[in-house]
Structure formats: structure tokens, C-alpha cells
Amino acid sequence: ELQQYEHYMLKEIMEQPEAIKRTLKGRLTEDGVAIPELEGFLHSRNLQSFEKIMIVGSGTSYHSGIIGKKILDSLIEIPVEVAIASEFSCEHSTLTDKHLVIVVSQSGETADTLSALKEAKKYGTPTIAITNHWKSTLSRQADCTIYTYEGQELAVAATKAYTSQITGLVLLAIVLAKQMNGRGVEQIPVLLDALHSLSEDVEKCLIMTQDAIDQFAQITNDQEKIFIVGRGSDYVLALEGALKLQEVAYIHADAYAAGEMKHGTMALITPGIPVIALATQHHLREKTVNNIKEMKARDAYVVGITTIGDDSISSVVDEVMYIPEAHPLLMPILAAIPLQLLAYYAGCVRGYNVDRPRNLAKSLTVE
Ligand code: F6R
């Protein structure tokens, strides 16, 4: 089952081009996206009357939800909020049938997430599930389900689940934008083109980053702290990268919005401390470069991750790693790859069981 891989986590990271292909399979048409599972649901609702969308998930699925919000924000008009499933019932007693709740969960069995779904149903709020597990409790209880079809994920850390969920959220966003005639509909043809080459881009990204990340991971062996910073969707990536490092390599990894460092956390930057600076979004790069300079001035060891062809950060960081350039809304899928690999190799260097981290379970069936 493991084929040539030593661990499921690496196997599943490497499977992402295939997993994404499966999520997209049969769903990309000449001029749009077809998700037959959604049709009955969408026809029975007046999408124009929706007032707000809420996305809910736990852990990595919460992080893909935040990326989902950014994608929806650029394609449709109505406000989109994201909530951590375990906080959902504490915060959202104002749901109505004019809201749409999107629930994201790889397993479809996470208790916190199921309880958020139950909360939404209490208010008659329509629900869409995005999950990998066929006939999971989540898919049985939601009004309709978009399956990610990424294949079985056995390592505790979610890797291909994250990239497949974002792919599923992009598909859903395109369908909703078309039906709601959202502000971003003119972007859809370019986005569709980019989806066609997404699996190939992910493949390239794996090839471009694997060895360099493996090498960098070796120097994390004696580090107890790592900072990951970025702006916009790169900040969300930082959250996801930090979660992976905590989970698999037991490193105290902290994610910060790059511009936020100077408001307090900069005090923790000491000489040699590793910082991963993500700069995969063109329009935010200049400001991120300024933030990197501030950290370099305190002698942090900065590894920059940017897109190929960008030379704005190479002169300000200690090391730079390049990933392929794709549509800005799809960059969070590519940028996840080096961070997943880093957690994997750092966990291995430290001698931990990367597939079965301590204190964690794959499916969390208690709240
Ligand atoms: C992190 C991880 C967890 C899960 C979370 C939700 O690598 O695996 O944070 O993402 O427990 O699980 P699902 O998606 O099954 O609801």
C-alpha cells in the first residue's frame, strides 16, 4: 500500500496531483463547472435571496474554509464568514433560512463539525457539505454534498485533504458566482483555464521544492521555535503550515500576519531564529518585503517562498524557494506543498512517528 514511500504522510503529499484530478474529474465543462450533486439543491432555492454565507470546519478544514472565503469574496457579492466549528454554536444564534452554511470536513465524522451542522439545521439554514467520505454522517445530514474524491487519507495530518477541499471550494464558488451573477464572473474563464493545469502545477511544485525543503528541515533539528509569516492568503497558509509543524514535528511554530509582527511579536525575534516568509501574492509582495527586512535587521534566518520569476525577495532573505506561478486564487494550493513537506521532513529528522503523532487521532468523535 505504501509503495515506494516510507510513510503515509509523504505518500499522501505526493498523491496531490492525482487527488486534485479526481476532485475535478467530470466537473470542468467547456464554459464552466458542473456539479450534478448540487443541481437539485440549487434549483429548489432562490440563490438571489441568500444574505450571507458561513463556512465552518475544524483544524485544517477550518483553514481551507478561510481560503474558501477569500475565493468567494472575489467572485460573489454577499458577505462570507468563516467559523471554527467548536466555536460555531457559541457565536451564531442569529442564523436564518436566508443564510447558507458550507461545512468542510475530510472525514465527515468530526463531532465539533457535526454539531455546527446541527446548529445550522436548527434555524432551517440550508447546508452544503464538502467531504471526502462517501455517506459519512456529515453527508447524510447536510442538504447536499460535494465529494472531494481525494482517496483514503491514512496519516493523521491532513495534506491532500486540504488541497482537495480548496479545489472543491473553488468549484462551488464558480457555480454560486454564475448563478448569483456575482461581481467576479468575468474572472471565471481565466480561473477555469488555471484549474485545467492545476494538477500539473502541483506536480511541478513538488518537484521544485522537495529536496530544498528536505535540506532546510535538517537545520530545524535543534530549533524549538519557527515563525511563519505572510499576508492575505499567505497568512492563512502560515496558519496551516504552523499547525502541520506543531502536529508532526512538535515544533512550537507560530503563524503571523507579516504586517502584525511589528505590533508585538517582533520582540521574540532573536538572532538565528528561523522565519518562513511567504510571498506568493504579487499585489502584497512589496509590503511583505518590508516586513522581511525588519526581521532581517534583527538577524532572523529568513527562508522566503515566492513564485518563479520573482526577484524581489531573493536579495533580502537568507534562502529563497520558488514555486510555480498560478492564478492568485489557486496559489494557496501550491504554497501548501513546501509547508507540508517541511512538517514531514522536520518530523522525520527529529525521529517522530509522522503518521501517528502523539495525543492526536484521525477522526475526533468527541467535542
Ligand atoms: C491537521 C488535521 C486536523 C483535521 C481536523 C478536522 O492536520 O488533520 O486538524 O483537519 O481534525 O478533521 P476533518 O476534516 O475530518 O473534519
pLDDT tens-digit series, residues 193-235? 999 999 999 999 999 999 999 999 998 888 889 999 999 999 9
pTM value > 0.90: yes
Please give the mean pLDDT across all residues of the chain: 95
pLDDT digits (tens, 9 = 90+) for 238-286: 999 999 999 999 999 999 999 999 998 999 999 999 999 999 999 999 9
Residues in contact with ligand 1 (CB, 6 Å cut-off):
58-61, 105-107, 110, 113, 157-158, 161, 243, 247, 364
- Region 320-325: what's the mean pLDDT? 97
Q: How many CA atoms lie within 13 A of 185 on its CB side?
A: 12
CA of 63 to the centre of ligand 1 (A): 10
Closest ligand 1 atom, residue 364 Cα? 11
- Region 135-150: what's the mean pLDDT? 97
The answer for residues whose C-beta is within 8 angstroms of residue 104's C-beta and 6 or more apart is 55, 56, 57, 61, 62, 64, 65, 68, 113, 129, 130, 131, 165, 169
- Region 149-165: what's the mean pLDDT? 97
pLDDT for 146 equals: 98
Q: How far apart are CA 328 and CA 255, in angstroms?
A: 21
CA of 324 to the centre of ligand 1 (A): 27
Q: How far apart are CA 125 and CA 115, in angstroms?
A: 14
Percent of the chain at pLDDT exceeding 90:
87
CA of 121 to the centre of ligand 1 (A): 22
Q: 139 pLDDT exceeds 90?
A: yes
Looking at ligand 1, which residue's alpha carbon is closest to its atom 10? 60
Residues catalogued as catalytic: 362
ipTM over 0.90: yes
**If pLDDT is split at 50, 70 and 90, which confidence band does 366 have?**
confident
pLDDT for 308 equals: 96
Looking at ligand 1, which residue's alpha carbon is closest to its atom 11? 59
Q: Of the residues 66, 87, 107, which should be mutated to test ligand 1's pocket, given the most ligand atoms within 8 Å of the CB? A: 107
CA of 4 to the centre of ligand 1 (A): 26
SS3 state at 304: strand
Q: 71 pLDDT exceeds 90?
A: yes
Closest ligand 1 atom, residue 110 Cα? 16
